[in-house]
Structure 1
């Protein structure tokens, strides 16, 4: 059986990396966020809450990490308890309550596993952390840097997006790479948009189809993080760059970064869903969303299903709406015959014998960060990097499947074959090497 992905983050790594590469306000915090996600292993080692215990049968519990990276943190508020007065805690509480109600009452699903599993959430994760993720155990949210990103609990659809990754994990288990990974991302956006429209009382036609609206500070030229109705148009800003999402199979991005472009290519199934929802009419919760959930639970969607296979599964369960769903997929260039997934190109030019390069991709924003140090150059980082390289054993580095919205690191060391390591498998030495190489020299001065 293919291992199921168990972790996800909201901001794509390519967005964080673009911000980090500038001198704009928030760049330093974006670099910090890229590094902080290396500490996934540490998060699992310190699950020692020190606060009021949640009711043993609580449907959900919100914890505070108190700006550390220890999970789950201190219990603050659980289902049935009154507001805490902490804005992020209460936003998370209201968001998860609304999400669970929508899935239960509107879609007939009892929590993410359809067995009423209690949901654990953590806020105030890290220091000015620019991300949110599901780690296979709980939902985790940063406070944002206050320069580019707001609190990640502020837009409720961010929370629903991460919760939906857990739904996918417990249904089809879509592998987080290439087309199946883009479908994994898209499914999360589908249910995020569904909740947003449901809370606003909108029909599919009335919805704005924006994901992460309100996540950016007002000074940033961005309507949201993604636009399901018009992929590639959500933002165009000097710090963020231009939204790189695509919305048609002809424009499919073949890349080794971001787990094969899962955040870039998710715009294709996103657009198909938006077209289907509007064509079916009425509310998304009553129209298109049950079809997508039924496909996930049908058994026809397997961990490595591609766009065409997923399209066929949605048409098969669409009933009277089959023609509308088929036409929606056709408009984004996806036919119903299961085909080979577009290939991913090989790595770029190899590094030289004295160069150490680290590339990090993934994360909710889907951005990629890359850095290199020439051990023979006048670089203040060279001494520390050389010390780490001398004791590294890359041959024994642990690989494994990527996790949704978490990061994957590619290490290229002095001409040796490149090695990819998911962040949850980073050793202390690899984490330190990534931190140094991804930082700019003057950041470590």
Structure 2
């Protein structure tokens, strides 16, 4: 029996609890208010299921932005901008409108997906939700953006990766439906980070080398330069400051974080352990090169569509390998890169053909360079050897057919 998934939010509970220890009374109060708001929204999720079904009705993926005016009662919100309406004098409204549009257009152009549910689902968002709320939420039918406290977080609508992340939780709802706990929940969070990052890369037309691979950098600790909420390139290094401490994300299975499957335990560490599949995606993308949404993103998207609610890291890794073979050919360099990417986070793909075995070690430099070139050269030789074997077998089969017909 499938579990009911909690409401999704970009800021995990362990960070909010850390902020409760702040010496700044306003930061402490904002964290407490956000925790209480999150708990209330979680409790209301079952009541919103009807709204989610209504929102899923075909609607040409039209956007509507509502202004909560610091209230948490959505029924009090006023419409601030519609799909064909003029720009708002409120830049936050326009930022949310733009972020929803870019995410919608990214899925349409890159994967031919018609909005969140692939049926033209309307895209509604509420800005100025509550007072100094340090979070953004996907509640199963719509987006809610808090304004942040101005110290730890700025206006959440100001980050395209945040919007892309939360809207992708909606895509997960309509594809794999990864259960939101333990490894399946970490995969749910990872999909949101992956495609949230790709929305930004696609909008800027960045290659894998040009992208920063950061989530929430535009709004996280606005007074501190160069950090972010999460780093896909180097999980565990996104931030390190007195406000919130050091980024605790692991980047490989030997560092997997074991936590209770409770809200205070981050549902089994879903925001912690998402760093592992995040790093696998980055490691695969940097080996393939080019635009990540065209190759690695396509593999991950199709794997997400083909996965099941209770799949674990191993299941999903195997599925990406299968989809890479289906999309780009068995023994292709893309499929070899998938093997290498998961190997870097200490997950071995099941059933890899002998001619496409994982090299014993890869240079874990995170930047390509000489180590990456050597790895790719080794993989190329293995693929060539496998191709020669296949050609040889084909010739033998042809000879046997000729002999048998005589």
Under a length normalisation based on structure 2, what TM-score does the superposition of the two structures give? 0.77
Q: Give 1:136's aligned residue.
A: 140
CA contact (8 A) 1:148 1:220 kept: no
Q: Give 2:18's aligned residue.
A: 18
Q: Give 1:184's aligned residue.
A: 188
2:87 partner SS: coil
CA contact (8 A) 1:221 1:236 kept: no
Under a length normalisation based on structure 1, what TM-score does the superposition of the two structures give? 0.70
Q: Distance in 2 between matches of 1:92 and 1:202?
A: 22
Higher Cα Rg, which structure: 2
Normalized per residue, the structure richer in strand is 1
Say whether 1:5 aligns with 2:10.
no
Structure 1's 181 and 245: CA in aligned 2 closer, same or farther, altered over 3 A?
same
**Where in structure 2 are there 5+ consecutive unaligned residues?**
52-58, 326-331, 352-406
Q: Give 1:405's aligned residue.
A: none
Q: Give 2:118's aligned residue.
A: 114
CA contact (8 A) 1:131 1:152 kept: yes
Q: Distance in 2 between matches of 1:247 and 1:270?
A: 8
CA contact (8 A) 1:216 1:222 kept: no
Q: Give 1:71's aligned residue.
A: 74
Q: Distance in 1 between matches of 2:273 and 2:60?
A: 40
Say whether 1:306 aligns with 2:306.
no
CA deviation after TM superposition for structure 1 residue 126, in Å: 0.9
CA contact (8 A) 1:222 1:237 kept: no
Q: Distance in 1 between matches of 2:131 and 2:101?
A: 26
Q: Distance in 2 between matches of 1:243 and 1:99?
A: 27
Asked which structure has the greater RCO (Cα within 8 Å, sep 6+), the reply is: 1
Match of 1:269 among 274, 277, 280: 277
Q: Give 1:152's aligned residue.
A: 156
Q: Distance in 1 between matches of 2:10 and 2:322?
A: 30
Q: Give 1:293's aligned residue.
A: 301
1:158 partner SS: helix
2:156 partner SS: coil
CA contact (8 A) 1:11 1:131 kept: yes
CA deviation after TM superposition for structure 1 residue 57, in Å: 5.7
Q: Give 1:204's aligned residue.
A: 208
Q: Give 2:336's aligned residue.
A: 323
Q: Give 2:85's aligned residue.
A: 81
Q: Give 2:62's aligned residue.
A: 59
Q: Give 1:335's aligned residue.
A: 348
Aligned residues: 328
Match of 1:167 among 162, 171, 177: 171
Structure 1's 28 and 195: CA in aligned 2 closer, same or farther, altered over 3 A?
same
Q: Give 1:244's aligned residue.
A: 248
CA deviation after TM superposition for structure 1 residue 337, in Å: 4.1
2:144 partner SS: strand
- The one-character-per-residue Cα deviations of 1:359-408 (angstroms, maximum 9, x if unpaired) are xxxxxxxxxxxxxxxxxxxxxxxxxxxxxxxxxxxxxxxxxxxxxxxxxx
- The one-character-per-residue Cα deviations of 1:203-228 (angstroms, maximum 9, x if unpaired) are 01221101101212443466100010
CA contact (8 A) 2:154 2:222 kept: no
**Where in structure 1 are there 5+ consecutive unaligned residues?**
49-55, 339-445
Paired residues for 1:371-382 under 5 Å = none
Q: Distance in 2 between matches of 1:38 and 1:185?
A: 19
Q: Distance in 2 between matches of 1:58 and 1:259?
A: 31
RMSD over equivalenced CA pairs, Å:
2.0
1:305 partner SS: coil
CA contact (8 A) 2:61 2:115 kept: no
CA contact (8 A) 1:141 1:153 kept: yes
CA deviation after TM superposition for structure 1 residue 80, in Å: 1.8
Q: Distance in 1 between matches of 2:223 and 2:164?
A: 26
Q: Give 1:416's aligned residue.
A: none
- The one-character-per-residue Cα deviations of 1:390-443 (angstroms, maximum 9, x if unpaired) are xxxxxxxxxxxxxxxxxxxxxxxxxxxxxxxxxxxxxxxxxxxxxxxxxxxxxx
CA deviation after TM superposition for structure 1 residue 14, in Å: 0.9
CA deviation after TM superposition for structure 1 residue 71, in Å: 2.1
CA deviation after TM superposition for structure 1 residue 131, in Å: 0.4
Q: Distance in 1 between matches of 2:318 and 2:183?
A: 14
Structure 1's 193 and 57: CA in aligned 2 closer, same or farther, altered over 3 A?
closer
